[in-house]
Structure 1
Amino acid sequence: DLEQLIGWLQNHGVTHVAMESTGVYWKPVYYVLEGYFELLVVNARHIKNVPGHKTDKKDSEWIVKLLLSGLLKSSFVPEATIRFARTLFRHRKKFINQRSRAKNRLQNILEDANIKLSSVVSDVFSKTGLAIIEQLLAGVVDPWQLANQARGSLIRKKEELAKSLHGRFSDQHRFMLRMLMDSIRNHNRSIEELEVQLEQVVSPFVQELELLQTIPGVSKIASIGIISEIGVDMGQFVSAKHLASWSGVCPGNNESAGKKMSSRVTQGNKYLKTILIETSWASSHTLNTYLSFRYYSIAKRRGKKKAAMAVGHDILNAAYHILKDKTPYREPKLRQEIIDQRRKSELERLERRIQKLKTLASN
């Protein structure tokens, strides 16, 4: 039927086709019509009709009226290669989340068996932790035998480790532990396969990936994630500000009758937003960089979460110009001047605070 739709639309002289972005149901229609017509995938929240007129037929007529009036704003739909990379990257993220849940359940099983491994080992899934888990699965329950699996710095904590492993590990616990370990291994394999496939899919964009990795805190997998969400053609976005607004990493505008309402960040692209927040945390640990300085200067005044969002905005802005101009990241020329100015402002703020406290004390 969809193949016949192409001929039917062409026979009626149709050049533009608009549709709601309802879940995944728009995708088969879009993929079939792609290349034959000018396609617009529209956010359903932006085309609501008058209440009381809600039927599929009337919705279609309403969309046609908006399209003919030029009032429809199309959602960003990247090219086929980027779409496939996006699908792979999002599946990878879901598998990572599922693996995290399985790891949490496994730790709950150990706690239920009164095995306090996490109180001594910082990472239960480190070499030492995994070796102990394998011994538990093999039927070993003696605390000292388990503690002998210690590696590295934990060798000095064998006595403390043995005490934490003195629990009541039953066959029921072993059964659940084995199931969860199998699940974690399966997720590890799936994640590795997805990453291999991802690298093959994005291989035409090696130059763009390398350029994005010049941004402090942006790893290889993060650069792949950024490209899978926004593509490499920045002509799709009017400016860096439009990209930031689409992504949901900048404040919104909400004003009525001269009164400014909440301007919290918009929903945007949650997958891209997650990548940007993760890279902003990573950039905060880089030495002598503008992004690191900006993160800590905001964090001490407004908190770490707002600082991470602000730095994520800066990273996206840098990514836009890097992909548009095909040039590597450059530290802001006025970085030292900015640092000096910020320090001066901070000193002035502290002096005002001290003066205010002195005034309060004298009263």
Structure 2
Amino acid sequence: MKIFLPLLVTMLFVIVPAVLVAATMPENRETTSGLKTATFAGGCFWCTESDFEKLDGVIKVISGYTGGHVANPTYEQVSSGSTGHVEAIQVTYDPDKITYAFLVDWLWRHIDPTDAGGQFVDRGDQYASAIFYHDQTQLDIATASKKALEQSGIFAKPIVTAIRPLETFYPAETYHQDYYKKHGIQYKFYRYRSGRDDFLKATWGDRLDRRSMVIGPGFVKPGEAKLRSMLTPLQYKVTQEEGTEPPFDNAYWDNKKDGIYVDIVSGEPLFSSRDKYVSGTGWPSFTRPLEPDNIVTREDRKLFAVRTEVRSRMGDNHLGHVFEDGPQPTGLRYCMNSAALRFVPVEDLEQEGYGAYVKHFE
């Protein structure tokens, strides 16, 4: 036994600390099964939990508290506003089925990101909205998504939702978990009276629950080297250097199939085949955008004449120009470059994540 005693002592010094560390690790770490975690605050966690649990790819949602200075806080402490914590949710999701960028976009569409004093009927710092990032990638996506929302024009007021590093997340008391399921009548009454749904409907309309992103989803544009590796020389010249492809010698000028046209880099839905017409110019032409929020126009004086350039909002890519010589009902001609677009046939919409547009063709 004396021979093995030093070895036994050494093993104890290695194993015991490791066990203690494992036992005290916060619940914020990613799981070993490939699932990931996101943490958000959007006012009453009963509501944010119910909004996120209905998403495909979300495995579970836990209501809790984070961002403050009191360890293991109670609901009474947090609701008093004295702990610095906010009501928050921690979302466990499958990244093969849903992206973090989508979750961030989903948050925007289920809160009032312009409210610095709480959310809807719930007032106080403990109900403020926030994104708590777990790593640099989440920070980059959340920052880009917030910037896109600011530029979208959807909200007239400044976006005040904080983006903060996650520290410790404390699960709330058991009776708060799945409250909307356990106490359906009370929850529905509270939600109706809170004003949340009226605000969201007025702000987003029929885009509220759309699976395909309208302002994102939190797209981070690649750098020059990555773009050059992703795109053909012609695609790069058109989208990044505001070039023009040859007429009658491009992919979509004569395309008559049903489907939608999306930005070749960001994937933003831009135009529909239902608004495409034969303009005789040799370039794909449309009477209007499928998603106006994804289109940006600006004055172009490069060719000694004033034209209106069309760009994608999230991708910030040159698409073409819009002219006032199109057919009714708009009188506009969105003259686009095929090299800036990718066509998604109607039969592929569902599998490529654009399922919300299937009904557009029914």
TM-score (norm 1): 0.24
Higher-helix-fraction structure: 1
TM-score (norm 2): 0.24
